Chain A
């Protein structure tokens, strides 16, 4: 055991505090999992797990909500496509802002950052009208196109790519590489940690997105998972077990992705945090 790992009173206190905080954070998740395993008679009778565990809520969920499977695929499709489209455009824009000098670069950057301060709700009405006139209401494109470029992503990539040495780019140019080739073969491979972090952030944003899909999508078959789940919240009655099962299904992909990509996510977020 080295010095850092010794059990000092401070370290023990920190662990107790962290454990208590973990309990606070995890309790609702445990409650959620427990709720999905309880039958109708037990749903509110037991605070957490009931003696009898059932998968009925999941079976009911897929049986009674006939298009739920489709809703899950809709969410997967929209989230993954949006991630890829955002990644492509945001990294390209970030690359140009980081590595090229052109007229109006500064005002464009300021204007771009200024848009981060405009609440999305403000632009919803005009955007809805625009999409309606383009015939994109109630289509996948109505969700993909407005979300194709992320200002946050541009800024993230601009910062990340600005750390790529210019000499690398010059060397590629001297070898006859095109500007897009430099982006594709040189810049993006060295920005992979940031790409991983951005993908996860973008996926979570799109996967959990509620308000805009709720406005744009009208056909049940096109609904994303959060919209489909919100339909289960009845005014007169609720199927709590089914709702919890649906919520768990909605949470799981993000959870799994985070487990798979956590190395890249952490690396992306801490890149440049330590000065060498």
Chain B
């Protein structure tokens, strides 16, 4: 130790460096085995969802076997980093993958600028010429379409239902079959809600997720098909004025639970009875609240009016092929292999409960299987029945700002209504939404394209 001038601390790091290099060297053989053989045709594919990653990993060997000399370099990239990394890669023209899956809330940000500068290949022609357009739920192409061009294949549909505590609902004499509209639902809600003891539904009073779902169900949204901000149109104002009294004021029936431990406890204790439940969330409930297995059930979302759509949508993923892809035909073949292979889609549904966008796959056995957690309901069928009614939603490069603005408008309206429940909320909501929409428009107008 005397000969080492940096002392005990630094010496420890020398030892650590030696040990760790030894371990990495030992593992190097394994890594080399995974490297691509020289001269191989490679398709680099980024995904952000580990469930997709695991499913694709199983299915890619079959694709590689059918395409000798082709190697798929599947990479799992954290969703938080993916959008930034891809955006940078497009701008700097560096390290761009051949294919990539993007979450719906960030997909719009990639459609900025002139069409020729969008980093994704235009798939419109391929989608129509291969008949794919007719095989998939049309509404799901909308978020990935910009100026009439489709840049992404939809991975899913994400219809929304309500998950609820069946046992408690029955005890309280709630017949969900008689709940057809939101008016019916609210009426029951007023009957069974006891402030700070029991609430009818989990609704956020600070984030826009649930409000957005309700907005979509009413035919509203953030943008119209031309990318114009519609946050302050009559639908948005009416939805806001309808939603806020559900989560604020003396007659509220909703309570905001968030995620994780609080949500689990609230559902287990019967503190909250109904929850918004897109297909992907049905699996989250199974994993995070296992103690209520067999006591939960699903019902279609109440309609806005009699005969209206009994669903909405929440979340989504697109698959895009980048313009930098050297072999777009090969990438397309891989996309078809992953998104259209029925047995594979069925298996993925078993793992994730996510309904694929290709409607022809829904007749697979997996979609008819009864789910014990949801009191023996055929989970796939229940979502598939609603899928054709999933509303259209449109996006824009400014979707992130628009989402944040809707959230801030909701917070302002909740504060206003909590302070003055007797006042008419409409003028305030109108002004607040207009202010938010104008902020978004200001940003849009700064963009010369």
Contacts and interface: CB of A to CB of B under 8 A. Distances in A.
A68 interface: no
Interface residues of B, number: 54
Interface in B294-348: 315
A192 B6 contact: yes
B16 A80 contact: yes
Contact of A234 (B24, B51, B88, B265): B51
A94 interface: no
Interface in B251-286: 260-261, 263-265, 268, 280-281, 283-284
B13 interface: yes
Nearest to A184: B5
B284 A237 contact: yes
Contact of A237 (B78, B94, B280, B290): B280
Given A44-B289, A236-B49, A237-B280, 19 more contacts: A40-B287, A41-B290, A45-B265, A70-B27, A73-B23, A80-B16, A87-B6, A91-B6, A129-B92, A188-B6, A189-B7, A192-B8, A196-B9, A215-B81, A219-B75, A230-B81, A235-B103, A237-B287, A261-B9
Interface string A28-69: 000000000000110111010000000000000000000000
Given A77-B17, A83-B10, A128 B289 contact: no
A195 interface: yes
A192 B9 CA distance: 9
Contacts of A40: 287, 290
Contacts of A129: 92, 94
Contacts, number: 147
B95 interface: yes
Query: Shortest 8 CB-CB distances between A and B: which pairs?
Result: A44-B264, A192-B7, A77-B20, A188-B5, A196-B9, A80-B16, A80-B17, A76-B20
B288 interface: yes
Contact of B21 (A77, A87, A195, A261): A77
A11 interface: no
Given A231-B76, A234-B50, A237-B51, A203 B13 contact: yes
A137 interface: yes
A227 B13 CA distance: 22
A47 B9 CA distance: 38
Interface string A193-206: 00110011001000
A276 to B, nearest CB: 22
A221 interface: yes
A16 B5 CA distance: 43
Contacts of A264: 7-9
A1 interface: no
A219 B76 CA distance: 9
Interface of A: 40-41, 43-45, 47, 70, 73-74, 76-77, 79-81, 83-84, 87, 91, 125, 128-129, 132, 137, 184-185, 188-189, 192, 195-196, 199-200, 203, 214-215, 218-221, 227, 230-240, 257, 260-261, 264
Interface string B1-33: 000011111101110110111011001000100
Contacts of A137: 94-95
B354 A236 contact: yes
B283 to A, nearest CB: 6
B291 interface: yes
A184 B3 CA distance: 9
A79 B280 CA distance: 38
Report which residue of B14, B16, B81, B260 has the largest number of chain A beta carbons within 10 angstroms of its beta carbon: B16
B75 A218 contact: yes
A214 B268 contact: no
B261 A47 contact: yes
10 contacts: A73-B20, A76-B20, A125-B88, A189-B7, A195-B7, A221-B27, A230-B80, A235-B315, A237-B51, A261-B12
Contacts of B77: 218
Contact of A220 (B48, B76, B88, B103): B76
Given A43-B288, A44-B260, A221-B31, A125 B92 contact: yes
Interface centre among B23, B50, B283, B354, by most A CB within 10 Å? Answer: B50
Which of A87, A218, A257: most chain B Cβ within 10 A? Answer: A218
A233 B17 contact: no
Contacts of B268: 45
Contacts of A261: 8-9, 12
Contacts of A73: 20, 23-24, 27
